[in-house]
């Protein structure tokens, strides 16, 4: 099942589920609890998709693919490397990533599988992790490398500028247990290509580990880390520029597409 948040011209944001991948059935209620169809139906092409969740927290994991740890010169971590992104950074499909005036020069993309928590989780075992997950979406962990790696002693600013947390296009509740291909395209050229089975700490590991550190409220999202091929690790470096288009594609979920603009 695919869960969307959407908006019709002049109406409040609403929730729906996709039917046949080209119709949106509006639903009423709590997507993490009780909900039912409202009876309204709209062609997908007639609605504006929003970020599929408004998370109470955005948790993110660094260095969770061997290839990315290697390309950045880091050892394979012995426990998940946790950081947090500001919730004000969330944008949805087709909304622009804004290169911030405060740090416009070294903004990079990161394709990531994102887990959406459906049921409050605290001290959950690996075996029980799945029952606390609502589903999965595509994420781009947009990062200002100058702030993250050179100017600041920690990552909060470089990972949290407005628009630096694209999510979407929807929440897919069923994904292939064996994993999915994950890729990033910049202006149509594939720049990251891997498979979620290559995660060092898998989804169950992460939900269990994080739930032993803090309460995971419904709607919490977990960016699970990016594979190799980020712009900062390339020779020469590739950074996002106004007019670029970034696409994050995860097999079985969909494509999250965002254009890039300068801050006006
Ligand atoms: Zn990341």
Cα separation, 158 vs 144, in Å, equals 5
Predicted confidence (pLDDT) at residue 101 exceeds the cutoff of 80: yes
Give yes or no for a contact between 258 and 187, defined as CB atoms under 8 angstroms apart: no
Residues 71, 22, single domain; the answer is: no
Predicted confidence (pLDDT) at residue 15 exceeds the cutoff of 90: yes
Ligand 1 centroid vs 122 CA: distance in angstroms? 23
The gap from C-alpha 114 to its chain's centroid, in whole angstroms, comes to 4
Q: How many helices (H) and strands (E) does the chain have?
A: 3, 19
Ligand 1 centroid vs 141 CA: distance in angstroms? 5
Residue 138 — very low, low, confident or very high, per pLDDT cuts 50/70/90?
very high
Cα separation, 26 vs 136, in Å, equals 20
Number of compact structural domains in the chain = 2
pLDDT of residue 13: 95
CATH number of the domain encompassing residue 224? 3.90.850.10
Predicted confidence (pLDDT) at residue 6 exceeds the cutoff of 90: yes
Ligand 1 centroid vs 62 CA: distance in angstroms? 5
Ligand 1 centroid vs 111 CA: distance in angstroms? 8
Ligand 1 centroid vs 225 CA: distance in angstroms? 5
Phi-psi region of 225 (alpha: psi -120 to 50; beta: other; left: phi over 0): left
Residue 72 — very low, low, confident or very high, per pLDDT cuts 50/70/90?
confident
Percent with pLDDT over 90 in the chain = 91
Mean of the per-residue pLDDT values of the chain: 96
Q: Which residue intervals of the chain are DSSP H helices?
A: 66-71, 145, 203-211
Q: Which residues surround ligand 1, an ion (CB under 5 A)?
A: 110, 141, 226
Residues 100, 14, single domain; the answer is: no
pLDDT of residue 124: 98
Residues 89, 122, single domain; the answer is: yes
pLDDT of residue 184: 98
pLDDT of residue 181: 97
Q: Give the domain-ending residue among 29, 49, 69.
A: 49
Residues 251, 124, single domain; the answer is: yes
Residues 93, 140, single domain; the answer is: yes
Domain with 115 in it: 58-262
What is the average per-residue pLDDT within 182-199?
A: 97
Ligand 1 centroid vs 196 CA: distance in angstroms? 14
Residue 21 — very low, low, confident or very high, per pLDDT cuts 50/70/90?
confident
Ligand 1 centroid vs 15 CA: distance in angstroms? 27
pLDDT of residue 177: 77
């Amino acid at each position: 099942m695919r869960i969307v948040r959407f908006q019709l011209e002049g109406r409040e944001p609403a929730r729906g589920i996709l039917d046949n991948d080209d119709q949106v059935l509006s639903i009423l209620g709590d997507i993490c609890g009780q909900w039912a169809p409202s009876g309204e139906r709209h062609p997908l092409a007639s609605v504006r998709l929003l970020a599929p969740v408004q998370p109470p927290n955005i948790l993110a994991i660094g260095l969770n693919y061997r290839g990315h740890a290697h390309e950045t010169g880091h050892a394979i971590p012995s426990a998940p490397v946790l950081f947090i992104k500001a919730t004000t950074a969330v944008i949805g499909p087709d909304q622009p990533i804004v290169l911030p005036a405060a740090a416009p020069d070294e903004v990079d993309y990161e394709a990531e599988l994102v887990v959406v928590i459906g049921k409050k989780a605290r001290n959950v075992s690996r075996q029980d992790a799945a029952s606390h997950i609502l589903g999965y979406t595509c994420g781009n962990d947009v990062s200002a490398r100058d702030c993250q790696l050179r100017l600041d002693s920690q990552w909060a600013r470089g990972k949290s500028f407005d628009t630096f947390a694209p999510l979407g296009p929807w929440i897919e509740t069923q994904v292939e247990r064996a994993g999915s291909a994950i890729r990033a395209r910049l202006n149509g050229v594939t720049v990251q290509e891997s498979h979620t089975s290559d995660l060092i700490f898998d989804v169950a590991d992460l939900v269990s580990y994080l739930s032993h550190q803090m309460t995971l409220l419904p709607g919490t999202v977990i960016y699970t880390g990016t594979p190799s091929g980020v712009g900062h690790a390339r020779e020469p470096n590739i950074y996002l520029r106004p007019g670029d288009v970034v696409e994050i594609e995860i097999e079985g979920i969909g494509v999250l597409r965002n254009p890039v603009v300068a801050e006006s």
